[in-house]
Amino acid sequence: MKKKILSGMRPTGKLHLGHLVGALENWVKLQDQYECLFMVADWHAFMSEYADPKLLRENIIENVVDWMACGIDPERSTIFIQSHVKEHLELYLIFSTITPLGLLERCPTYKEQLREVKNRDLSTYGFLGYPVLQAADILIYKADAVPVGEDQLPHLELTRQIARKFNRLYKKDIFPDAKALLTKETRLLGLDGRKMSKGYNNFIALSDQPEIIRKKVQNMFTDPSRIKVTDPGHPEECNVCNYYAVFASETKKEIDQLCHKAKIGCADCKKKLAGILVGLLIPIQEKRNSLLKDKGKIEDLLAQGEKKAALIAQKTIQEVKDLINL
């Protein structure tokens, strides 16, 4: 029997190169080894976007289309929307009841978000429970492992704590110890060298057209000490070079040499990088466009995914309710 994994993404905007190398490429590979469930975490998106949710529905479909265009295969994997499988919320409530408040208040992601996020009010009851819903997402499918980035480790730890507490309280090993499958750290910074983020608008979206990609790459920050073309560059301090490392590791070696010896100008170096990125995204965009021609089919696929997911989720909820006498 294949092991089961579940992962999710919040539909808060367009998917970009960071999602591709940070998550999607990994998800695509995992499909060979695991039984995979991939979920659009729309409830989690709502928890932060509640004051202005007008783009949520559009983002959901767009994200699913991007997943498929990148190689998530609905024949092999279960793709579904979190809010369409109601059982997540039932388990969430039960978990809320047994989760000590202190665990949530001390959760580092929670504290960080409260500190960093200035343009929304996240000091709500619901947002505090974000990791509890995530635990329900994972455990309702009894997932063995969860592919995530490092930022999500505290949520996985909480998931295991909740699972153990439930198992202990009701004297049955119903929930597994879900392991984090860490995506190998591919550090892709934003175009401006800061963290890649929707808020900074410093990314290349998977759907960006070639002209936009070229323009964005031309505006990338480079080695600040290289002023004239004849100045030798320091590729190790240049974000453009970092992009080569992620997307064209062979070419990176050449660029290192050329840049050190001042044999390539930054404009040419960027032009070449833009060409590589355009080449990478063209097949994805072709697939995207052809999928978008038949939105009805996407909805059918999601409905099928939902059915498969609900079957597992209903079984778990029944087991849980039997244990707690409801």
Q: Which residues bind ligand TRP (CB under 6 A)?
A: 6-10, 41, 44, 134, 137-138, 146, 148, 152
Quick check: 242 binds ligand SF4 (CB under 6 A)?
Answer: no
Q: Residue 89 or 276: which CB sits closer to ligand TRP?
A: 89
Q: Which partner, ligand SF4, ligand TRP, none, binds residue 134 by CB below 5 to 8 Å per kind?
A: ligand TRP
x/- mask, ligand SF4, residues 6-45, rule CB under 6 A, reads ----------------------------------------
- For residue 51, what is the DSSP state? T
Distances (CA, A) of 86 to 92, 94, 137, 200, 326: 10, 13, 11, 34, 17
Transcribe 249-282 into DSSP letters.
HHHHHHHHHHHHTT-S-HHHHHHHHHHHHHHHHH
Position 196 contacts ligand SF4 (CB under 6 A)? no
Dihedral-angle region of residue 236 (phi above 0 means left; psi in -120 to 50 means alpha; beta otherwise): alpha
Residue from 78, 134, 159, 222 touching ligand SF4 (CB under 6 A): that is 222
Which of 126, 232 has the CB closer to ligand SF4? 232
- Residue 94 makes contact with ligand SF4 by CB under 6 A: no
Q: Is 233 in the site for ligand SF4 (CB under 6 A)?
A: yes
Tell the smallest beta-carbon distance from residue 12 to ligand TRP (Å): 9
Neighbours of 278 (CB within 10 A): 19
Asked whether position 189 contacts ligand SF4 by CB under 6 A, the answer is no
CB 306 within 8 A of CB 80: yes
Candidate list 28, 182, 246, 266; residue touching ligand SF4; CB under 6 A: 266
139 binds, among ligand SF4, ligand TRP, none (CB under 5 to 8 A by kind): none
Contact 9, 23 (CB under 8 A): yes
Beta bridge partner(s), residue 5: 36, 145
Smallest separation, CB 325 to ligand TRP (Å) = 28
What's the min distance (Å) between Cβ of 45 and ligand TRP? 9
Q: Which of 37, 128, 255, 302 binds ligand SF4 (CB under 6 A)?
A: 255
Could you give phi then psi for residue 94, rounded to 5 degrees? -65, -45
Q: Residue 181 in contact with residue 30, Cβ under 8 Å?
A: yes
Contact 155, 134 (CB under 8 A): yes
Measured CA to CA in angstroms, residue 224 lies from 20, 140, 219, 233 at distances of 28, 50, 13, 9
Give the Å distances, CA to CA, from 193 to 12, 69, 219, 243: 22, 27, 11, 11
Q: Taking the complex as a whole, how short is the minimal distance between the CB of residue 192 and ligand SF4, in angstroms?
A: 14
Given 226, 247, 302, 312, the residue binding ligand SF4 (CB under 6 A)? 226
CB of 211 to ligand SF4, least distance (A): 20
Q: Which does 138 bind (CB under 5 to 8 A by kind): ligand TRP, ligand SF4, none?
A: ligand TRP
Q: What is the chain's Cα-based Rg?
A: 22
* Least CB distance to ligand SF4 at residue 292 (A): 34
Tell me how far apart the alpha carbons of residues 76 and 78 are, in angstroms, rounded to a whole number.
7
Q: What count of other Cβ atoms lies within 10 Å of the Cβ of residue 273?
A: 23
| Rounded least distance, CB 82 to ligand TRP, Å | 7
Cβ proximity to ligand TRP, 91 vs 273, nearer residue = 91
Give me the residue whose beta carbon is nearest to ligand TRP.
8
Q: Are 301 and 40 in contact (CB under 8 A)?
A: no
- Amino acid (1-letter code) at residue 106: R
Smallest separation, CB 202 to ligand SF4 (Å): 16
Asked whether position 284 contacts ligand SF4 by CB under 6 A, the answer is: no
